[in-house]
Amino acid sequence: MKDYLYISIYRSLKGLRLAHVILILSFLGFLGYFNAIFHPFIHDDVVFILKNPQINNLSLKSVFSYSVDNQANPLINQYFRPILELLYRLQFKVFGTQPFLYHFFNIIVHLANSLLLYLLLQKIFLENRIANLAIALIFLVHPIQSEAVATISGISNLVFTLFFLLSFLFFVNSGKLSGLKRITRYFISLIFFVLALLSKEQAIVMPFVFLLYLLVNKKEKQKVRYKLFGLAGYFLVAFIYFLARKILFGFSLSGIFLFKEELFLRLLSIPRTLLTFMRLVILPYDLHYYRSTDILKPYFWPMIILLGIIAIMIFAVKAASRPTRPKLLFGLGWFVVTILPVLNIVPLINEYSFVLTAEHFMYLPVIGLLIFIAFLIQEALFAVDRNKAIKYSILTIVIISLLSIVITVENNSYWQDETFLFQKTLKYEKNFGRVRILLAKAYYRKKMYGEAITEYQKSLAIFNEYLEKAKGTKAEKFYLDFIVEIFSDMGTCYRETGDYEKAIGFYTQAILINPKNAATHNNIAVCYIEKDEFLKAAQHFKAAIDLNANPESGIARKNLTILLQMNKGILDVIN
């Protein structure tokens, strides 16, 4: 009797219309992300939107120039994302400073991506409706997606994937048509590829995913000549994109060799990174922000384990039936190709030996692993008893979906507050100096000055160690800038507690490293005013003004004017 119930559900799922699929995905998607809707702007959201000086400027010239001008430092990760910048400005025009609207927009785009994924899989694997729905559903609610969906600034992953899937859909459709309709859909696909590239660099691998689709899809082999000719257009667009980056930044892929001594270590760390990403898909129990890989850690055992897993996967593909084999290969290929840009071949440096292996990098690649796992499970179950296979398939989908939603809801909650977010990060990234700085800043905003000072002290020890190791290299100034920031922020914390002597001491250490910091001169002057040492205050105000660094010098000029009105005798001394 129970088996008949599952068979009935199975038949109902096979007969689902598109409207039903949309309802299922919408309901479960909002169930997984409802608690993120009313979160405030935090961290990068503030930088990209609230503190963006050009946020009200909708001119395309401003959008493209701003995207270039803000990526001038070759020591940091270089991005060129004008479509993303334009989106932020359009959102601000419509949404203003209401964060719930931005969060709602993220969820809608994520839902659209899951639907597009379902439609794409239906085009490629038409006879596997339930497996396709399961893949789209797990993609939607998997906890690893929380970092991309629950934070406003995660929109870059959502938007580039939206354009990626749209481009893929139109590419597949163009091959099933002829004449003007084929050409029209082909050029629409190319346009979406361009939009994806200008939203996030990871989209550069799209032509290789399309090539993979042609190689494993037997139905398309009859049209392979047309398709391969069509792929040339995508590779041409990719070439023009690299050429544009060369013109704008002075280099394109040369960042690979910027730190030649690290290249070999980054390559050796790839097995550890891949194992981490693959494990997070199966067991997402330690999700956190700023996930990093230390390239100085031992690499032998991760390499051996990865080789063992690859051997098992190859065996699984060979053991699979002929209809399933291309699906498994396509899934594995999708994962490998789409994860390549973020494996730190081109360095994605956090600090010193830590390279970025962020969870949002998996937003698109996770699809490949889900395809592989879904069809492998389907193959295994249906090789036994069909009725039991149907029962266990449905139970597996339901259990995984519910567990995913529960973990996703919990993980979303950390994005409601920077203190919670960075405390959780430090639980897993204890030696990460930048996160300690960010946590200290979060404590400061909550007037928890003692806790902030403690975190600044810990981060200072970390960056001093980096500085010692980076002496004589290009990275030396990079770490010095962080140390200046720490000294300055610690001075501000002590100023807020009324300990002006210690505040001046830390501000002075910042000035010794960077004498041209007008803001720090202004802060020292404020401390001297609190100590009734007006002459010293006036001297530091004048030092800030002489640096002519707006807006800090403007603030100092106003403060000095007020001080002179209070004590006109100071003017003769400082002149």
- pLDDT higher than 60, residue 6: no
pLDDT at 474: 76
- pLDDT higher than 80, residue 127: no
Q: Report the C-alpha gap between 158 and 169 in whole angstroms.
A: 16
Contact 155, 81 (CB under 8 A): no
Upper half-sphere CA count for residue 17 (Cβ side, 13 Å): 1
Q: Report the C-alpha gap between 66 and 13 in whole angstroms.
A: 49
Report the SS3 class of residue 75: coil
Q: Which residues contact 560 (CB under 8 A, 6 or more apart)?
A: 525, 538, 541, 542, 545
Q: Report the pLDDT averaged over residues 548-555.
A: 61
Model confidence at 254, in pLDDT bands (50, 70, 90)? very low
Model confidence at 573, in pLDDT bands (50, 70, 90)? very low
> What end-to-end distance do the CA atoms of the chain give, in Å?
97
- pLDDT higher than 80, residue 558: no
- pLDDT higher than 50, residue 495: yes
What type of residue sits at position 248?
A: L
* The two three-digit tokens of residue 212, written as one number: 């993979």
pLDDT at 182: 86
Preceding peptide of 143 cis, ω within 30°: no
Q: Report the pLDDT averaged over residues 240-254.
A: 71
Q: pLDDT digits over 390-436, tens only? A: 777 788 888 999 999 999 999 999 999 999 999 999 999 999 999 99
Per-residue HEC secondary structure of 180-236 comes to HHHHHHHHHHHHHHHHHHCCCHHHHHHHHHHHHHHHHCHHHHHHHHHHHHHHHHHHH
Contact 86, 155 (CB under 8 A): no
- Residue among 276, 395, 128, 323 nearest 136 (CA): 128
174/288: higher pLDDT:
288
- pLDDT higher than 50, residue 72: no
* The two three-digit tokens of residue 126, written as one number: 């038409």
pLDDT at 357: 93
Q: Strand pairing partners for 294?
A: 354
With vertex at residue 131, the alpha carbon angle to CA 129 and CA 132, rounded to the nearest 5 degrees, is 60
Contact 140, 25 (CB under 8 A): yes
Say which range, 21-25, 381-385, 508-512, has the weakest mean pLDDT.
381-385
> How far are the Cα atoms of 75, 253, 255, 263 from residue 258, in angstroms, in the given order?
8, 10, 5, 9
Percent of the chain with pLDDT strictly greater than 90: 59
Strand order in the sheet with 349-351: 292-294, 354-356, 349-351
Each residue of 342-377: b (16+ CB within 10 Å) or e? bbbebbbbbbbbbbbbbbbbbbbbbbbbbbbbbbbb
Q: Report the C-alpha gap between 401 and 383 in whole angstroms.
A: 24
pLDDT at 1: 47
Q: pLDDT digits over 324-365, tens only? A: 999 999 999 999 999 999 998 777 777 888 889 999 999 999
Q: Report the C-alpha gap between 496 and 449 in whole angstroms.
A: 8
Q: Which residues contact 391 (CB under 8 A, 6 or more apart)?
A: 2, 3, 6
Q: Report the C-alpha gap between 509 and 520 in whole angstroms.
A: 10
What's the whole-number average pLDDT of the chain?
87
Say which range, 175-184, 237-246, 457-466, 548-557, has the weakest mean pLDDT.
548-557
pLDDT at 75: 44
Model confidence at 155, in pLDDT bands (50, 70, 90)? very high
Say which range, 135-144, 206-215, 227-236, 444-453, has the weakest mean pLDDT.
227-236
Q: Report the C-alpha gap between 477 and 480 in whole angstroms.
A: 5
pLDDT at 317: 94
- pLDDT higher than 70, residue 238: yes
pLDDT at 510: 95
**What angle in degrees, to the nearest 10, is found between the helix axes of 206-216 and 224-249?**
170
* Torsion sign, CA atoms 563, 564, 570, 575: positive
pLDDT at 373: 95
In the chain, what are the domains?
A: 17-418 (no CATH), 419-574 (1.25.40.10)
- pLDDT higher than 90, residue 137: yes
Model confidence at 2, in pLDDT bands (50, 70, 90)? low
- pLDDT higher than 90, residue 255: no
